[in-house]
Amino acid sequence: MYNPTKIFVDGANPSVIRSLKLQINEDAEYGKCIQRYKSMKVDYAQNMRIVPINFAQMHKEMLSHTKMLLENGFIAINPRFTKLIVSLRTAVEQDGKLNKQVTSFNDVYDSFRLACHMFQFN
């Protein structure tokens, strides 16, 4: 319905990733594609519409990136997104990781981090 240019998905759910890729006629064997792009020293995210993101490997980078975007005013949040606002206000970082035990609506925060992933700066 919306025809997005990129969809960032938690890499921990391969069945969802494959399903999304099949819906847009993208190669569902994304693991092989990622390896091929890496061997060619090409950023695979630039060549995929459905982009799996591995939170286990990128959680610290994603947390600091989101914090930088917010602190520098690159993102404005509509007040009607109350769960996101509560999540951001209660977010607690511990050793570079989001402490999900004390962060309210941590799944909303994870979605926000995925959405922010598209906005990269040199």
Q: Do the strands 97-98 and 93-94 form a parallel or antiparallel pair, or are they unpaired?
A: antiparallel
For the chain, give the percent of residues with pLDDT over 70: 99
Q: What is the pLDDT of residues 91-117, one digit of tens each?
A: 998 888 889 999 999 999 999 999 998
Region 50-59 average pLDDT: 91
Average pLDDT over residues 70-90: 94
Residue 122 confidence class, pLDDT cut points 50, 70, 90? low
Query: By CB neighbour count within 10 A (0-12 exposed, 13-18 middle, 19+ buried), where does 78 fall?
Result: exposed
**Which pTM was predicted?**
0.83
Residue 84 has pLDDT above 80, yes or no: yes
Q: What is the mean pLDDT of the chain?
A: 91
Report percent pLDDT > 90 for the chain: 74
Tell me if residue 42 falls in helix, strand or coil: coil
Q: Please count the helices (runs of H) and the strands (runs of E) in the chain.
A: 5, 4
